[in-house]
A and B are shown apart, each in its own frame.
Chain A
């Protein structure tokens, strides 16, 4: 692809109602600094249906320009329509780099676009920088289940693309700003969208599993011993207004659905408070939660690696600790 600007793009994924998913706004923050180092501006690319709220948010959280594509065909995400739209925009404007949130949709879309544009994509980055020597983006990501970090560059192909996990970066402080808005009309005929959504079955339990957006997460691992062992975890999460997470061991044992899994093959989270109960702290789990602001660990084994990343840890039985803690919190909040 021909590079026409030094601009950096951030893809703002929208929800069904046209409002933005949080990760896009998070990425505007590192994107701003990177665009500056690359000598260009920061553009947000907003695609969806009735996207005004997303345009305003992108402007507030740091975009210099917003490129917006609005249409019924973008109401629900589809690989085909979104790939067509972004590829057309890239070919027209020629940005030098592009960040995409590593949501399920972002990880579906990123490789499809990169392949169509014949360029390199680095997945699930946890750190971003501009290499001082070459001016290339230095994408850092975990591999081997989080045991190894790799820094990757894409020296000769453009745009340089990367997906970044939600919760890794924090949103900037919002500011009153009027970004320049460019509307692009890109129509995708229905027959070019080769997948059809039949229905959405929402998660059965009423509790939300929006782990990536959660401010407080209480997670259970092997130490909860069974599906019923999640009862005190849920009670504490409820008392704190938090969301229930789980380690791979608990999910693999069938005690709780995979949607709750935090870690390398689950979600990466960055809440204000993460409470790990009966979780030993395998590197795969730590890879998904160690950027939390505060970490509390409750585990019987004083040598559990989870204590290595915890701000506060209790060596003890979670079934004795949690009810007492939940009670105390309820009383404090009453």
Chain B
């Protein structure tokens, strides 16, 4: 079994603060992390490997050189091999251009590592939150897709995925190769062992640049290959607060709230 996991290094958006004076994002000092949903995708691959020990897990990330730290973390957790896709020509890409470049890179990595049976992604990255790159990679590569995966197994040459849907959990299957995106499952991903951490630190992570992608049409990459353009960004306005109740006792406060609710037709 040959599994590719696509990962992105993202700022930890839970650590982002707003400058109260300038009303802008404070990006300095915000730690970079492996996108949590990509971590769930890696864990899903690792669980398949637990049951099929001859599985190889390859991780691929597009980003600047510092994204190698994220790839090293994946090597420490479960991955066997990592590649960094990096080139200035890729900067400014929207989801369509990004997924095109990644699909070209996946074809290139396949010439080095063999064809992938499964391609796993996080359902979305926590900085952009678009949830588009996974399905768009699948479309570029002509693969079936399953999104909102919780866990996956492989049986008789097919992948079986538990998928989160509005009504509960759907069990869905597809032939391979197939692309699966992952959301948050009810269990936590594994931690790296000390031994794997040390090996990951020594691991060599090859760069893939535009010249390696012999089939790529750079007209479809970067800013010029991106149909969507960001016209403006702004910090969302805050609603001003309403009535705050703080009586001497909790029940007095509660009855005051109850009266307000009744008066406003909320009961």
Contact = CB atoms under 8 A, between A and B. Distances in A.
B128 A143 contact: yes
Interface string B128-141: 11111111101110
Given A115-B96, A143-B127, 6 more contacts: A144-B16, A197-B171, A198-B172, A199-B170, A199-B171, A320-B254
B63 interface: no
Contacts of B129: 123-124, 142-143, 145, 264-265
A119 interface: yes
A222 to B, nearest CB: 13
A175 interface: no
Contact of A103 (B127, B139, B166, B186): B166
A interface residue count range (under 10 / 10 to 19 / 20 to 34 / 35 or more): 35 or more
A39 interface: no
A148 interface: yes
Given A111-B131, A196-B172, A314 B258 contact: no
Nearest to B266: A273
Contacts of B233: 143, 148-151
Given A121-B95, A121-B132, A312-B243, A150 B230 contact: yes
Contacts of B165: 104, 200
Contact of A194 (B174, B232, B243, B266): B174
B65 interface: no
Contacts of A227: none
B94 interface: yes
Interface stretch (A64-72, A178-186, A325-333): A325-333
Given A108-B135, A320-B250, A329-B258, A258 B227 contact: no
A312 B260 CA distance: 8
Contacts of B199: none
Interface stretch (A26-34, A54-62, A153-161): A153-161
Interface in B177-209: 178, 183-184, 186
Contact of A115 (B13, B136, B240): B136
17 contacts: A111-B99, A111-B132, A112-B135, A120-B226, A121-B132, A151-B234, A154-B227, A200-B171, A203-B168, A240-B267, A264-B129, A290-B239, A307-B241, A307-B244, A313-B243, A313-B245, A328-B254
A66 B113 CA distance: 49
B25 interface: yes
B148 interface: yes
Interface in B117-155: 126-136, 138-140, 144-148
Given A198-B172, A199-B170, A321-B253, A152 B229 contact: yes
Contacts of B114: none
Interface in B85-123: 94-96, 99
Of the candidates A203, A265, A308, A310, the one having the most CB atoms from chain B within 10 angstroms of its own CB is A265
A107 B144 contact: no
Contacts of A121: 95-96, 132, 228
A328 B232 CA distance: 48
Contacts, number: 254
A294 interface: yes
A316 interface: yes
B160 interface: yes
Nearest to B246: A315
A259 interface: yes
Given A115-B135, A316-B253, A308 B239 contact: yes
A148 B251 CA distance: 39
Given A115-B136, A144-B127, A315 B245 contact: yes
A302 interface: yes
A294 B246 contact: no
Contact of B251 (A80, A115, A310, A320): A320
B14 interface: yes
B24 to A, nearest CB: 9
Given A145-B13, A147-B25, A316 B246 contact: yes
Interface string A104-126: 10011011101110111111100
Contacts of B246: 302, 314-316
Nearest to A107: B131
Contacts of B243: 311-313
Contacts of B234: 148-149, 151
